[in-house]
Structure 1
Amino acid sequence: MTATTTHRFQPVLLGTDINAYGMARSFHEEYGVVSWALGSFPLTPTRDSKIVQVSIDSEFASDDGFVRVLSELGRRERAADPNRSLLLVPCGDAYSALLSAHRETLAEWFDFVMIDDELLASLVDKASFYRLCEQHGLDHPVTRTYSRQQFVSGTPIELPSEFPIALKPADSVAYLDCQFPGRKKAYVLANRQQLDETVRRIFSAGYPGELILQDFVPGDDSQMRVLNAYVNRDGTVAMMSLGNPLLEDYAPASIGNYVAIVSESNDAVYAQAKRFLEAIGYVGFVNFDMKLDPRDGRYRFFELNPRQGRSSFFTTLAGLNLARWLVRDVVEQEYGETVYGREHALWVGVPRPILKRYAAEGQLKAEALQLIREGRWGSTVFYRRDLGLRRRLNMWKLWLSYYPDYRRNFGNRELDL
Structure 2
Amino acid sequence: MAADRSVPGLIVKFGNYPLHHGGVGAIRSLGRLGVPMYAITEDRWTPAASSRYLTGRFVWPTTGTERAGDLVAGLLRIGDRIGRPAVLLPTDEEAAVLIAEHAEVLAGRFLFPPVERELPRRLASKQGLHELCVEHGVPAPATLFPASYEEIEKYAATAVFPLVAKNREAFERRRRPAVSGTTRIADARGLLELAREWGPCPGVILQEYLPREEAEDWIVHAYFDADSAPQALFTGVKVRSWPPHAGMTANAYIVDNPELAALAAQFIKQIGFCGIIDLDWRFDRRDGRYKLLDFNPRMGAQFRMFESEAGVDVVRAQHLDLTGRRVPEGEQLAGRRFVVENIDLPALAAYRRSGYTTPHAPAKATGTELAWAARDDIKPFFTMCARLVRPGVRHLWQLWRSRRRSATAAAGTELVRRSPVE
Q: TM-score range by the shorter chain?
A: 0.7 to 0.9
Deviation at 1:33, TM superposition (A): 3.0
Alignment partner, residue 75 of structure 1: 80
Return the letter of the residue paired with 2:155: E
Q: State how far apart, in whole Å, the 1-side matches of 2:89 and 2:226 are.
A: 14
Alignment partner, residue 208 of structure 2: 215
Q: Which runs of 5+ in 1 are unaligned?
A: 404-417
Return the letter of the residue paired with 2:240: L
Deviation at 1:288, TM superposition (A): 0.8
Larger radius of gyration: 2
Return the letter of the residue paired with 2:221: N
Alignment of 1:161-180 (within 5 A): 161-178=159-176
Alignment partner, residue 416 of structure 2: none
| Aligned match for 1:324, one of 301, 316, 326 | 316
Alignment of 1:241-390 (within 5 A): 241-250=234-243, 255-316=246-307, 319-334=311-326, 341=332, 343-350=334-341, 353-354=345-346, 356-359=348-351, 364=358, 370-371=364-365, 376-388=367-379
Q: Which runs of 5+ in 2 are unaligned?
A: 393-422
Whether the 8 Å CA contact 2:3–2:320 is kept in 1: the answer is: no
Deviation at 1:195, TM superposition (A): 1.2
Matched, 1:393 2:382: yes
Specify whether residues 111 and 50 from structure 1 end up closer, same or farther in structure 2 by C-alpha distance, changes over 3 A only.
same
Whether the 8 Å CA contact 1:167–1:187 is kept in 2: the answer is: yes
Superposed CA offset, 1:264-316 (max 9, x none): 11111111111110111101001111111121121111121111112222114
Alignment partner, residue 36 of structure 1: 38
Whether the 8 Å CA contact 1:222–1:244 is kept in 2: the answer is: no
Return the letter of the residue paired with 1:370: K
Specify whether residues 355 and 171 from structure 1 end up closer, same or farther in structure 2 by C-alpha distance, changes over 3 A only.
closer
Whether the 8 Å CA contact 2:3–2:325 is kept in 1: the answer is: no
Return the letter of the residue paired with 1:49: S
Alignment of 1:127-138 (within 5 A): 127-138=127-138
Superposed CA offset, 1:34-91 (max 9, x none): 410114556743242222232122358432332222222323444xx5xxx4111111
Deviation at 1:146, TM superposition (A): 1.0
Counterpart of 2:112 in 1: which secondary structure?
coil
Q: Alignment RMSD, CA only?
A: 3.2
Alignment of 1:393-412 (within 5 A): 393-397=382-386
Specify whether residues 42 and 310 from structure 1 end up closer, same or farther in structure 2 by C-alpha distance, changes over 3 A only.
farther
Segment drifting more, 378-387 vs 115-124:
115-124
Alignment partner, residue 158 of structure 1: 155
Deviation at 1:330, TM superposition (A): 0.5
Counterpart of 1:140 in 2: which secondary structure?
coil
Return the letter of the residue paired with 1:133: C
Q: State how far apart, in whole Å, the 2-side matches of 1:218 and 1:314 are.
A: 26
Q: TM-score, normalised by structure 1?
A: 0.80
Deviation at 1:218, TM superposition (A): 1.1
Return the letter of the residue paired with 2:205: I
Q: State how far apart, in whole Å, the 2-side matches of 1:76 and 1:44 are.
A: 21
Matched, 1:18 2:16: no
Identity %: 20
Specify whether residues 356 and 118 from structure 1 end up closer, same or farther in structure 2 by C-alpha distance, changes over 3 A only.
closer
Q: State how far apart, in whole Å, the 1-side matches of 2:206 and 2:331 are.
A: 33
Q: State how far apart, in whole Å, the 1-side matches of 2:140 and 2:122 are.
A: 16
Whether the 8 Å CA contact 1:94–1:173 is kept in 2: the answer is: yes
Specify whether residues 77 and 196 from structure 1 end up closer, same or farther in structure 2 by C-alpha distance, changes over 3 A only.
same
Deviation at 1:368, TM superposition (A): 5.9
